[in-house]
Amino acid sequence: MCLLLTIHFDISTICTSLPEEEDAMELMEIIRGRRSIRRFQTKEVPQEAIDQILEAIRWAPSWTNCQCWEVILVRDPDIKKALQETLPKGNPAAKAMIEAPVLLVICGKLKSSGYYKGEESTKFGDWYMYDLGLATQNACLMAHALGLGTVIVGLLDHDRAAHILGVPEGYEVVTILPLGYPAQEAKAPKRREISEFTHEERF
């Protein structure tokens, strides 16, 4: 009986340690596999998937947990067309703005992140761009994990987009994420080696 218990314990220990490695490898594959997708299928995105992406945004870190993001979901073809027209000519994401079944418009609350007692507390001023970058990355990775594609659209007339969407004063439209099922595969761009950007002790 003692022998059997010992064997059972050893196997349990091994089994509980393996999933952590597998989870880490799976996460790295998601990070490596995510691409900017600019062509989409007409297939609708399930609400359950959108909810999971919003949950990923919800759990993004932010300065003093201020959670300075607001997300506008756009499905209306007329509004998507109007937002497309805020992009300059030649923006490669223009077609994605119409093709994608859903646009996630990521907005930031001003004078919240990076502030202490109403005053800027960092050299870089308002920190909302950093926090929205974290939230956007969460959204993109979750979308990829669900078999969906995204592209981060930041080159646009932000003020015009804010007017179209009725964004109130004190908030900024920062980026738009077309979201849908990819219609084509995208190749991985070349990346610098770790040794090229890593420094020990000093730059």
**Residue 12 confidence (pLDDT):** 45
Question: Cα-flanking dihedrals φ and ψ of residue 110, to 5°?
Answer: -85, 155
pLDDT, position 186: 87
Q: Which token pair is 80? A: 């998507």
- Give the tokens for residue 112: 């919240």
- Report the b/e string of 165-175 with b at 16+ CB within 10 A: bebeeebbbbb
Q: How far apart are CA 94 and CA 100, in angstroms?
A: 10
pLDDT, position 18: 63
How far separated are the first and last CA of the chain, in Å rounded? 60
pLDDT at residue 5 is higher than 60: no
Give me the pLDDT at residue 184, please. Answer: 87
pLDDT top residue among 109 and 12: 109
Q: 103: which strand partners?
A: 74, 178
pLDDT of 1 strictly over 60: no
Are 180 and 53 a contacting pair, CB within 8 Å?
no
Tens-digit pLDDT profile for residues 60-83: 999 999 999 999 999 999 999 999
What residue ranges do the domains of the chain occupy? 36-180
- Mean per-residue pLDDT over the chain, rounded: 92
For 136-151, write each residue's pLDDT tens digit: 999 999 999 999 999 9
Q: Mean pLDDT, to the nearest integer, of 109-114?
A: 97
Q: CB under 8 Å to 121, separation ≥6 — which residues?
A: 114, 115
The conformation of residue 40, written as its DSSP 8-state character, comes to B
Say if residue 16's pLDDT is above 60: no
Q: Given this model, what pLDDT does residue 14 score?
A: 43
The pLDDT value recorded for residue 2 is 47
Q: Does the pLDDT value for residue 6 go beyond 70?
A: no
- Is the per-residue pLDDT at 202 higher than 50? yes
Backbone angles phi, psi at 99, to 5 degrees: -70, -40
Local confidence band at 46 (pLDDT 50, 70, 90 cut-offs): very high
- Stated pTM of the model: 0.88
Q: Given this model, what pLDDT does residue 20 score?
A: 87
Q: Is CATH 3.40.190.10 what the domain over 36-180 is classified as, yes or no? A: no
